[in-house]
Copies of this chain bind each other. A is one copy, B any other.
Amino acid sequence: MRSEAHFLELIDSHFSREHDFLALGRGDDCAVLRGGTDYCVTSDLFLEDEHFRRGYFSAADIGYKALAVNISDIAAMGAKPVAFTMDLMAPADLPDTFWDEFLKSMAGLARQNDMVLAGGDLSRSKRLGVSITAFGAPGATGFLRRGNCAYGDILFTVGDIGLARTGLMALEAEGIKARETLPAAVMAHLRPKPKVMIGTLLNAAGVKGLMDLSDGLARDLPRFTGPDLGANLTIDPEALHGDVHAWCKKAGLDPLEFAVLGGEDYALLGAVSPFDAGKARSVPGYTEIGTVTREPGIVLNAKPFDNPGFDHFSQ
């Protein structure tokens, strides 16, 4: 990076300053989001050696995924992304070509979703890191919250479970060679597709709630149903992606357990009343995985599933 001023020019060359939802764009002490609508707000870190490695994430992959993980949270509210701010931690030695690819890729994803970059901050740092806060406007029925499940509701997912984790494991074990051996899994990890359109359709179809499966089904499902309810799941291992099977065979793992532990899937988990499920069933990718039970805990294919998955800070 040559100078802060030069970098800000580079940002301006990739990102417009104007948007219907902005009363004031970048360049002042604050940006101003236009009133008249509620905004949903989410914030996510994307840090070198914690969430990505430069060994197998290209500049374009990093710029893309840092924004994608935030858009995924907005999709899980059944909302429409509109704007974001970016705090960027940047090693001084990365060349202009790196930043150009990083920003171009991020700007492409922003443009696909009609999002404006509203502001942010820039600081030197030994390791690369991105902190993004993103804003969304409500969908057809407002925002889709968690915690509205009732006994008997149908649970469903949209998107592959376990596929991104397969990509992560393969990249960690084999490096960029994994791009060829398990291409779908690797792309699910490097370039997750936020399900904005699907979230909007499910919102309009009257589902009761949606959630981003970023920590894996086993950890996220109890957060979704709340502590007083549980889930009875029926998942056919054959329905898992071929890359998940290929990896688990190689690594000697049970593919179903692996997929349910998951992590970083950026698939959606949702609940719908059985009486209202008609429209939701027509949404592309909608897959029923079970029902909400009166007893807390997860039962998977008639057996209790007790593995809670991974906590970054637990000893």
Tell me the A109-149 residues at the B interface (CB within 8 Å). 118-127, 129, 131, 133, 135-136, 143, 145-147
- Interchain CB contact (< 8 A) of A89 among B37, B45, B77: B45
Residues on B with beta carbons closer than 8 Å to the beta carbon of A2: 313-315
A125-B47, A311-B4 known; A30 vs B136 contact (CB < 8 Å): yes
A50-B124, A123-B51 known; A211 vs B29 contact (CB < 8 Å): yes
Q: Quick check: A33 and B39 within 8 Å, CB to CB?
A: yes
Residues on B with beta carbons closer than 8 Å to the beta carbon of A120: 43
Q: Quick check: B119 and A42 within 8 Å, CB to CB?
A: yes
In the complex, A79 has a CB within 8 A of chain B: yes
Residues on B with beta carbons closer than 8 Å to the beta carbon of A40: 24, 29-33
Interface residues on A, range: 35 or more
Residues on B with beta carbons closer than 8 Å to the beta carbon of A90: 313
Q: Quick check: A39 and B42 within 8 Å, CB to CB?
A: no
- Interchain CB contact (< 8 A) of A121 among B44, B125, B210: B44
- Interchain CB contact (< 8 A) of A30 among B23, B86, B143: B143
In the complex, A74 has a CB within 8 A of chain B: yes
As for how many copies of this chain the complex holds, the number is 2
A6's nearest neighbour on chain B, judged by CB, is B313
Q: Quick check: A313 and B1 within 8 Å, CB to CB?
A: yes
Tell me the A11-40 residues at the B interface (CB within 8 Å). 23-24, 27-40
A30's nearest neighbour on chain B, judged by CB, is B40
CB distance from A47 to the nearest CB of B (A): 6
In the complex, A264 has a CB within 8 A of chain B: no
A48's nearest neighbour on chain B, judged by CB, is B125
A39's nearest neighbour on chain B, judged by CB, is B33
A24-B143, A45-B87 known; A38 vs B30 contact (CB < 8 Å): no
CA distance A136 to B24 in the complex (A): 13
Residues on B with beta carbons closer than 8 Å to the beta carbon of A129: 89, 125, 129
CA distance A123 to B131 in the complex (A): 11
A3's nearest neighbour on chain B, judged by CB, is B314
In the complex, A200 has a CB within 8 A of chain B: no
Residues on B with beta carbons closer than 8 Å to the beta carbon of A118: 41
Q: Quick check: A87 and B131 within 8 Å, CB to CB?
A: yes
A209's nearest neighbour on chain B, judged by CB, is B28
15 A–B pairs (Cβ distance < 8 Å), ordered by A: A2-B314, A3-B314, A29-B73, A29-B146, A29-B211, A30-B41, A30-B74, A30-B136, A30-B143, A33-B41, A45-B121, A45-B123, A89-B129, A122-B313, A133-B133
